Structure 1
Amino acid sequence: MRYAPVDLSTACWRKSSYSNSNGGECVEVADDFPGLVPVRDSKNPQGPALLIPGTAWSEFVDSLKKHG
């Protein structure tokens, strides 16, 4: 499935609760994008973001909960 370009300039990013405060491996996600979950590396906020379909993100998170 292809999506139209998404403007992330006003996105409100939140850091993973599993990220540490030492600047280690941190993932941030943004809410309020129906059907999509933008994901980026918090160490490189100006870098690229992945746009994950919401259903795929839900399956990914559910899998982590089961096997984590």
Structure 2
Amino acid sequence: MDLSNVAWRKASRSHDDGDQCIEVASIGETMLVRDSKDPDGPKVTLARSEFRHFAAAIKRL
């Protein structure tokens, strides 16, 4: 999957000085999640419906 033109968005609760920063992007029905401090590192790939469950679980933390 070519991610060179993907528009990444930093999570609204991420801070520039924090150590828990993530970015998300979407390609069709696929959602991508990465560590904003390591943009070339691994990415988590989820179906949009799976991402909704993932995001809801994180919000409960």
**Per-residue CA distance 1:36-57 (angstroms, 9 max, x = gap):** 1011000101112111111110
**TM-score between the two structures when normalised by the length of structure 2:** 0.82
Instruction: Please report the RMSD computed on the Cα atoms of aligned residues, expressed in angstroms.
Output: 1.6
Gaps (5+ residues) in structure 2? none
| Percent identity of paired positions between Structure 1 and Structure 2 | 38
Aligned length: 61
Which runs of 4 or more aligned residues in structure 1 lie more than 4 Å from their structure 2 counterparts after TM superposition?
none
Gaps of 5+ in 1: 1-5
Look at both structures and tell me which one has the larger radius of gyration over its CA atoms. 1
TM-score (norm 1): 0.75
- The alignment status of 1:42 with 2:44, answered yes or no, reads no
